Amino acid sequence: MPAFLLLTLMTAIRILSRNRLRAGLTMLGIVIGVGAVIAMVSIGEGAKAAVQAQVASMGTNVIIVLPGSTTVSGVRGGQGGAVTLNVSDALEMKKRIPLLQDTGWAKRDVMQIVNGNKNWNGSVNGVSPSYLSIRDWSFTSGGPFTQADLDAAVRVALVGQTVVENLFEAGEEPVGSVIRIKNVPFRVIGVLAPKGQSAQGSDQDDIVFIPFSTAERKVFGTQFIGSVGALFATTERQEDLFAAVDQIREFLRARHRLQAEQGDDFTIRTQVDIGKVQEGTSQTLTVMLLSIAAVSLLVGGIGIMNILLVSVTERTREIGVRMAVGAKRRHILMQFLIEAMTLSVVGGTLGIVVGVVGARLTTLIAGWPTIISGNTVVAAFVFSLVVGLFFGLYPANKAARLNPIDALRYE
């Protein structure tokens, strides 16, 4: 049987190559279908990976607690408007909730930063030293400030890449220089490694970190000492994230003496929630792409079926001769099935090439990230094989069921 299959395959290739234009046009549907799938999935995967990298840039297993809104004469201040969270919440939370590995806090404002004759309006953040490790910030030069700096409210600053680009000459070393924030001089002790865009699309590198206590006392002029813009917490394991969220909620409600009928005066978000939104979007996109792919493969398959039906009719006499000299039904069936699968597999292979080239060109021309996964390529190949098998079955069966006498007499 294997020898039969090999020879039948050779015959199929010869028959198809006799009519190259026809075979090519028949394959075109599959080529376009598979090519589109490969290219689209590559672009989708590339976008997904970029989003995942952004989400990961938040740090690992991060929980963010934001203050609730204020309501003044019925006008609600929006998220983070109230001053319901403070430093002691963070410190107590860490003591009382063992699941939490660490907690940190931050408060931000946009301010003018000056270096010599250059100035820049950037996001100035007063943070705890723990915040830096929770959010996974690393340094290209220098290093973080310490608890001692926080305790003594020392005027030191860490600067992000965007700030460096706008305040310093190219090649100038920021570490050791003195910048002024709201006219208060700060010594730069570290330059942050770039993180790029956040999951929401903002520039994470347009940032300056200073110790929280320094910010409170010397820059922001805070009305309520100890109030924070956001609390951050982290767990050791991702599985504990949701349990930790529940415990934080319970803890904060008790601490803020909220009654059962009152809503939370804070909002808790996790990295997973943020990732989910993005994943949902890309999933919708994937489903859409796959439906398009399914439709084009269906159309391609129908093309194959159509041309095979023509071929069966054209070769009716030949089928009769083959039957007369001893071809069994399965021999005829296999011959046409193999022809169908040759068309679809060659089409699928060309489609893979087209898709890979398309994805590369997209990266090259549009600059979008693309990832060509082996799984997609294998799936596309297998799928085109199945399309050939499925749509070849009807014409092949039609050929195999011919009556030898009728087939021999066919004009």
Partner 1 sequence: MTSGNGQPVSLIQCADLWKVYRLGDVEVQALRGLNLTIEQGEFVAIMGSSGSGKSTLMNMLGCLDQPTKGHYWLNGVDVAALRADELAEIRNRQIGFVFQSFNLIPRTSALENAQLPLFYRGLPLREQRTLAAAALERVGLKGREEHYPTQLSGGQQQRVAIARALVTTPSLLLADEPTGNLDTESSREIMTILDRLNKEEGITVILVTHEPDIAAYAAREIVIKDGQVLTDRRTKPGHPSSLVGR
Q: Are the CB atoms for 113 and 167 separated by under 8 Å?
A: yes
Q: Any contact of residue 1 with partner 1 (CB under 8 A)?
A: yes
- Choices 71-79, 107-115, 264-272, 319-327 (CB under 8 A): range interacting with partner 1: 319-327
Q: What are 377's two structure tokens?
A: 């390529």
| Bridging pattern class, strands 118-127 and 207-211 | parallel
| Residue from 328, 364, 375, 378 binding partner 1 (CB under 8 A) | 328
| Residue from 9, 28, 258, 321 binding partner 1 (CB under 8 A) | 321
Q: What are 144's two structure tokens?
A: 């973080």
Q: Are the CB atoms for 103 and 133 separated by under 8 Å?
A: no
Q: Are the CB atoms for 106 and 229 separated by under 8 Å?
A: yes
| Residue from 74, 201, 263, 326 binding partner 1 (CB under 8 A) | 326
Q: Any contact of residue 324 with partner 1 (CB under 8 A)?
A: yes
| Residue from 180, 217, 331, 398 binding partner 1 (CB under 8 A) | 331
Q: Any contact of residue 317 with partner 1 (CB under 8 A)?
A: yes
CB 20 → partner 1: shortest distance, Å? 14
Q: What are 410's two structure tokens?
A: 């066919």
Nearest partner of 274 among 124, 57, 68, 101, judged by Cα: 57
- Choices 190-198, 225-233, 344-352, 403-411 (CB under 8 A): range interacting with partner 1: 403-411
The SS3 of residue 214 is helix
Alpha-carbon 166 to chain mean position: 30
- DSSP-derived letter for residue 239 is G
Q: Are the CB atoms for 399 and 363 separated by under 8 Å?
A: no
- Choices 29-37, 140-148, 386-394, 401-409 (CB under 8 A): range interacting with partner 1: 401-409
Q: Smaller CB distance to partner 1: residue 187 or 330?
A: 330
Q: Smaller CB distance to partner 1: residue 7 or 178?
A: 7
| Residue from 193, 299, 385, 408 binding partner 1 (CB under 8 A) | 408
Report CA-CA distances (Å) from 70 to 44, 267, 357.
Answer: 41, 13, 55
- Choices 139-147, 317-325, 349-357, 390-398 (CB under 8 A): range interacting with partner 1: 317-325
**Which residues in this chain contact partner 1 in the complex, by CB under 8 A?**
1, 3-4, 7, 18, 317-318, 320-331, 404-405, 408
